């Protein structure tokens, strides 16, 4: 069963659960609840800063934070990381009891506490080896940008459902046009256009 990441590295999806045989994103109501929850959550996370950077610099200097490229943990209890700070999470997970919180919503909080207490991975802690695709996976998986655009298109096509799923449903939104405008995307906090050049 081929595994793919979408938007951020870390969370993995069974390809056939979220894509059709034509490698199109399935309608969201055809995606099982657990991967759907992560997909919806991802859209709100792709432009967020790395958690460790953020703990270092704070909101006042959020511009100094690296944008997150990696996500671990459970939706709404996740940890966002830049490549520079990924070893901290891996070290905490493997050596400092972090694995005990795997699958729990407090996974993120416990890691944040560990970081806030001044802990970090020792210098030169082995970087993670990434297996980007399942060895048995399809050779022609769409690249991550393609996948991201498909997620974005899925959002445009299923706007009301998505907003409800994300808990951001709003009565006056129900009357809006079927297609999201760029302004709507920005207002709803799911604007992905800046980092994913579109050829639409
Ligand atoms: Zn960072």
In the chain (200 residues long), the average pLDDT of successive 10-residue segments reads: 83 89 82 89 88 95 94 94 94 94 94 97 75 42 60 56 49 45 48 40
Residue 166 has a pLDDT of 54
Q: Measured in angstroms, how far is the CA atom of residue 83 from the centroid of ligand 1?
A: 7
Separation of alpha carbons 5 and 132, rounded Å: 8
Q: Measured in angstroms, how far is the CA atom of residue 162 from the centroid of ligand 1?
A: 29
Residue 191 has a pLDDT of 40
Residue 138 has φ and ψ, to the nearest 5°, of: -65, 140
Element (DSSP H or E) covering residue 130: none
Q: Measured in angstroms, how far is the CA atom of residue 64 from the centroid of ligand 1?
A: 10
Q: Measured in angstroms, how far is the CA atom of residue 18 from the centroid of ligand 1?
A: 29
Q: Measured in angstroms, how far is the CA atom of residue 77 from the centroid of ligand 1?
A: 17
Q: Measured in angstroms, how far is the CA atom of residue 25 from the centroid of ligand 1?
A: 30
Q: Measured in angstroms, how far is the CA atom of residue 66 from the centroid of ligand 1?
A: 5
pTM: 0.67
Q: Measured in angstroms, how far is the CA atom of residue 129 from the centroid of ligand 1?
A: 18
Q: What is the CA radius of gyration of the chain?
A: 18
Q: Measured in angstroms, how far is the CA atom of residue 9 from the centroid of ligand 1?
A: 14
Residue 144 has a pLDDT of 60
Residue 5 has a pLDDT of 85
Q: Measured in angstroms, how far is the CA atom of residue 109 from the centroid of ligand 1?
A: 16
Q: Measured in angstroms, how far is the CA atom of residue 59 from the centroid of ligand 1?
A: 14
Residues in the chain: 200
Q: Measured in angstroms, how far is the CA atom of residue 74 from the centroid of ligand 1?
A: 19
Q: Which two tokens stand for residue 40?
A: 């919806």
Residue 198 has a pLDDT of 39
Q: Measured in angstroms, how far is the CA atom of residue 6 from the centroid of ligand 1?
A: 20
Separation of alpha carbons 14 and 17, rounded Å: 5
Separation of alpha carbons 81 and 52, rounded Å: 7
Q: Measured in angstroms, how far is the CA atom of residue 159 from the centroid of ligand 1?
A: 32
């Amino acid at each position: 069963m081929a595994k793919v990441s979408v938007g951020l590295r870390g969370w993995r999806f069974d390809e056939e659960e979220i894509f059709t045989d034509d490698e199109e994103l399935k309608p969201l109501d055809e995606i099982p609840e657990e991967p759907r929850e992560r997909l919806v959550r991802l859209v709100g996370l792709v432009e967020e800063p790395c958690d460790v950077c953020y703990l270092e610099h704070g909101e006042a200097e959020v511009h100094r934070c690296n944008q997150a490229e990696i996500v671990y943990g459970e939706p709404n209890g996740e940890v966002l990381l830049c490549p520079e700070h990924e070893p901290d999470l891996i070290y905490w997970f493997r050596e400092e009891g972090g694995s005990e919180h795997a699958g729990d919503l407090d996974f993120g909080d416990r890691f944040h506490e560990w970081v806030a207490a001044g802990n970090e991975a020792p210098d030169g802690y082995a970087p993670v080896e990434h297996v980007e695709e399942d060895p048995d996976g399809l050779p022609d998986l769409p690249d991550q940008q393609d996948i991201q655009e498909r997620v974005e298109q899925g959002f445009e096509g299923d706007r009301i459902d998505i907003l409800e799923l994300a808990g951001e449903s709003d009565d006056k939104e129900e009357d809006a046009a079927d297609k999201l405008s760029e302004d709507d995307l920005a207002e709803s906090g799911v604007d992905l256009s800046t980092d994913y050049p579109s050829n639409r």
